[in-house]
Amino acid sequence: MFSGAFLAATLLPGGSEVLLIALLNQAPETWFSLVVVATIGNTLGAMTSFYLGRLGRFAKSPEELSGTKYAKGLSLIDRYGVWALLLSWAPVIGDILCLLAGWLKLPLSASFLMILVGKTIRYLLIVAAVMHWFT
């Protein structure tokens, strides 16, 4: 679960949700442990993207990113600041938000907290839905 969640939070393709659902179906009583492990793995994966963003500052300037696929993420962070990282769980844009947060040098502790909260809520909602519909 940890590895799947970690890789899913980086720019690599992967879906930790499918793994979580499969494990929940096998052992629903372990839901809390699964949420904790998935959240930790996914948050650390997102923080890896954050640090890659910090390293990427040396490769691109803000002007070079404004017209690219990163424009939507830049717009969200420009408008909401670190709060935009609550969407770090969202497909496609979430990975980009984490990368850009590091690139823009958003505060580490606040970024970590927002990513952690967003990902925790996402996994809790998945567990609630699975438990409601399948058990």
Which pTM value belongs to this model? 0.84
Per-residue confidence (pLDDT) for residue 11, from 0 to 100: 52
39 burial class (0-12, 13-18, 19+ CB within 10 angstroms)? buried
pLDDT at 57: 75
Structure tokens at 128: 């609630």
Tokens coding 91: 């497909």
> What tokens appear for 69 in the block?
């696929």
* C-beta of residue 37 within 8 angstroms of C-beta of residue 127: no
Cα 101 to Cα 109: distance, rounded to the nearest angstrom: 12
Condensed to tens digits (0 to 9), the pLDDT of residues 77-88 reads 999 999 999 999
10: DSSP letter: S
Mean pLDDT by 10 residues, the chain (135 residues): 65 72 92 95 94 83 68 92 96 90 96 97 94 80
Torsion 36-116-71-76 (CA) sign: positive
